[in-house]
Structure 1
Amino acid sequence: MGNSLACFSPKIAAKSSGSASPARRDASPPRASPYPSSTARRATSSLSGSASTKKSKKKVETAGAGVLYDDALIREQAIAAVMLLKQYQSGGDEKDDSLRLFSRSTSTSALFPSVSGKSGVKQSVARSSTSRRRSGSDFPLPPLQQILADEGLEADGVETNHFVLVHGGGYGAWCWYKTITLLRQGGFKVDAVDLMGSGIQSTDTNNINSMAEYAKPLINIIDKLGDGEKVILVGHDFGGACVSYLMELYPHKIAKAVFLAAAMLKNGQSVLDMFSVQQEVPSDLMQQAQIFFYGNGKNQPPTAIDLDKALLEDLLFNQSPAKDVALASVSMRPIPFAPILEKLNLSDANYGSIRRFYIETQEDHAIPASLQEAMTKSNPPEKIFHLKGSDHSPFFSKPQALHRFLTDISKIS
């Protein structure tokens, strides 16, 4: 949404020729094979002989030590793997993705003991880089069936288990892929919408002239809800204005509204007005990134705004994994300008009757934390959550923490 701030620049900003940020190190170093090839060959040749003779049995016991496992050990390993997955899904450092689930700090010594060679000298296999000793509390682990059963309990006992995710300016439904996965694993129903002219929508953003046009795909989703069915709307960035617009139209179909680093308007305000009232000036980075389109001629107001792809990482994804930055660089589209100028009519009877929650992003270069705090002070929500270490795109940089906040909000009664 840094895009909404674009309206403060009077001219087309030239594309920056600055150098890109340093590349991130996402790939983990290659692991050594857990079984030395010579050991594997010895074990194989031993097993190919007659298992009924003492000689063959001795070969298997000697050459295959640490290679052959009984059913109990295999089951223990499977449970340990599930526990690691649970740790990833429930917390930890969200800056990296699931490719780092089994990091080098994971103890492999418990899963793959060292193997003795012919000379009797132990041949080391891939080992943990940690010196932590196994404590008695590490085992026994809970039953595997219980671990898997707990996956579907997050949505139990909530007013509604249906989330509708509304992207920010320039983004699309694609940006929510991590959030969609985590919520669905917790038993929630999730819809992510492409607003008009965004994502896979083919409409030219220069031809979108109102909030009603821009939010039409979202309106279609809410229109199709059954009698008595409610949703939790989550709006990111400029999507917050769309959420406010829908709150006024469908108060009986919206249980809660969540503003995620988003524009949270008051009655009679436009996005432009909101930033003007807060007296926030776009940063140098924002001004450099803005590219205006004048579909109706240079003597008319802009019809759309885009962002310089070379500056996207520093502006919107300064804490996000490199692969998500790459996804955004080929997926983001211009933002229609007319909805940014539109003043919303928000009444206490409709908009004011819906419970609002705000999630602040602390390392945001597009909508600084100071501006987010100013919005929540002038138009207080029911509760404010703080995402530490998150850039403007927490669905990339802090997906686990964002998931926990959304789940917590769904359970607030």
Structure 2
Amino acid sequence: MAEPAATTVRSGCPGATHIFLVHGICHGGWCWYKVAARLRRLQPLAASRVVAPDLAASGIDDRRLREVPTFRDYTAPLLDALRSLPDGERAIVVGHSLGGLSVALAAEEFPDKVAAAVFLCAYMPDCMSPPGHVVLQGANRESQMDNEMKPQDGDGKLPASFMFGPQFTKQNVYQLCSKEDITLAKSLMRIGSVFLEDLQIMKPLSMHRYGSVRKVYIVCKQDRTLQEEFQRWMVSNNPVDEVKEIDCADHMAMLSAPDDIVQCIVDIVAKYS
């Protein structure tokens, strides 16, 4: 299983490139277990460290959603891990789904430590609009079916919450995954938040920081949650250095097509680190 977030990252290898795998809403580092295990076995990546952190109030992080009022609070474990990288060491940071916004924030905060920001069928903001804009565009394109959503509390202290419904999960998120992975997800998913209220009032990410980081978008063509058309719309609004495609991957590509994801990451490490 994926390891929990670490506030300090040490490799002992000057110039090493780390690989951070960032989960999406309602998930945790556990969803990367197939990809993380495969990457750790690859000899060309022996000098790298593969980290799949749990963001705040996710996975085995013991905080509850009410203790995580802002998107920055939610992303703090990733930001702390990047902050702790020794001088001269950088990371390939891969974000899935909502994790794309965490990767974007990390690139804004630490552009010198992010060798490449990788968006795996993920939300990718541009430098013109608040990060919440891309979330709103995505929400307008998808059916919510039996997903559960609760509005922000009256005092604004608890963010609006979200949980995937069983039917939406099976039909639109994990439709190409094994029954075992669906069972795993149902047992480990936690209530999360899109933090839309907070993301809408954030300033656009800057061109000289986030905009300067090299970016790769991995399009998953069988994704029914963030459909291919929307993924390509984001790329057209915020051109990237490279677009990769995976034909037979649903939204949970790290589970339905782990070998393809590993190959993409290996190629990216070789090219951008």
- Counterpart amino acid of 1:184? R
Structure 1 alignment gaps of length 5 or more: 1-158
Would you say how many aligned residue pairs link Structure 1 and Structure 2?
Answer: 252
Residue number among 210, 218, 221 corresponding to 2:70 in the alignment: 210
Q: Structure 1 pair 339/165, CA: closer, same or farther in 2 (3 Å)?
A: farther
Indicate the percent of aligned positions where both proteins have the same amino acid: 29
Determine if contact 2:221/2:246 at 8 Å carries over to the other structure. yes
Does 2:262 correspond to 1:403?
A: yes
Q: Structure 1 pair 411/340, CA: closer, same or farther in 2 (3 Å)?
A: farther
* Alpha-carbon separation, structure 2, partners of 1:245 and 1:344: 11
- CA deviations 1:281-331 (Å, max 9, x no partner) are 222xxx223212346259999621112134311121000111111111111
Determine if contact 1:235/1:243 at 8 Å carries over to the other structure. yes
Residue number among 161, 165, 183 corresponding to 1:308 in the alignment: 165
Partner of 1:36: none
Partner of 1:379: 238
* Alpha-carbon separation, structure 1, partners of 2:227 and 2:156: 32
Q: Structure 1 pair 217/227, CA: closer, same or farther in 2 (3 Å)?
A: same
- Counterpart amino acid of 1:330? S
Task: Give the alignment's Cα RMSD to 1 decimal.
Answer: 2.3
* Alpha-carbon separation, structure 1, partners of 2:255 and 2:72: 29
Determine if contact 1:261/1:367 at 8 Å carries over to the other structure. yes
Does 2:29 correspond to 1:170?
A: no
Does 2:53 correspond to 1:193?
A: yes
Partner of 1:327: 184
- Counterpart amino acid of 1:336? S
Q: Structure 1 pair 230/297, CA: closer, same or farther in 2 (3 Å)?
A: same
* Alpha-carbon separation, structure 2, partners of 1:344 and 1:209: 17
Query: 1:161: how far off?
Result: 3.5
Determine if contact 2:130/2:203 at 8 Å carries over to the other structure. yes
* Alpha-carbon separation, structure 2, partners of 1:295 and 1:218: 25
Q: Secondary structure at the match of 1:193?
A: coil
Q: TM-score if structure 2 supplies the norm length?
A: 0.85
Residue number among 92, 97, 105 corresponding to 1:232 in the alignment: 92
Partner of 2:125: 265
* Alpha-carbon separation, structure 1, partners of 2:94 and 2:258: 14
The structure with more radius of gyration: 1
Query: 1:271: how far off?
Result: 4.9
Query: 1:273: how far off?
Result: 1.3
Q: Structure 1 pair 400/293, CA: closer, same or farther in 2 (3 Å)?
A: same
- CA deviations 1:186-223 (Å, max 9, x no partner) are 12420111001100112221442212101111111112
Q: Structure 1 pair 223/278, CA: closer, same or farther in 2 (3 Å)?
A: closer
- CA deviations 1:318-355 (Å, max 9, x no partner) are 00111111111111111224356413532122112211
Determine if contact 2:25/2:194 at 8 Å carries over to the other structure. no
* Alpha-carbon separation, structure 1, partners of 2:266 and 2:32: 15
Query: 1:399: how far off?
Result: 0.3
1:112-261 equivalences under 5 Å are 160-186=16-42, 187=46, 188-261=48-121
Q: Structure 1 pair 298/369, CA: closer, same or farther in 2 (3 Å)?
A: farther
- CA deviations 1:61-120 (Å, max 9, x no partner) are xxxxxxxxxxxxxxxxxxxxxxxxxxxxxxxxxxxxxxxxxxxxxxxxxxxxxxxxxxxx
Q: Structure 1 pair 407/344, CA: closer, same or farther in 2 (3 Å)?
A: farther
Query: 1:243: how far off?
Result: 0.6
Determine if contact 1:319/1:397 at 8 Å carries over to the other structure. yes
- Counterpart amino acid of 1:405? C
Determine if contact 1:278/1:374 at 8 Å carries over to the other structure. no
Q: Secondary structure at the match of 1:336?
A: coil
* Alpha-carbon separation, structure 2, partners of 1:169 and 1:344: 22
Determine if contact 1:196/1:213 at 8 Å carries over to the other structure. yes
Q: Secondary structure at the match of 1:194?
A: coil
Q: Structure 1 pair 366/163, CA: closer, same or farther in 2 (3 Å)?
A: same
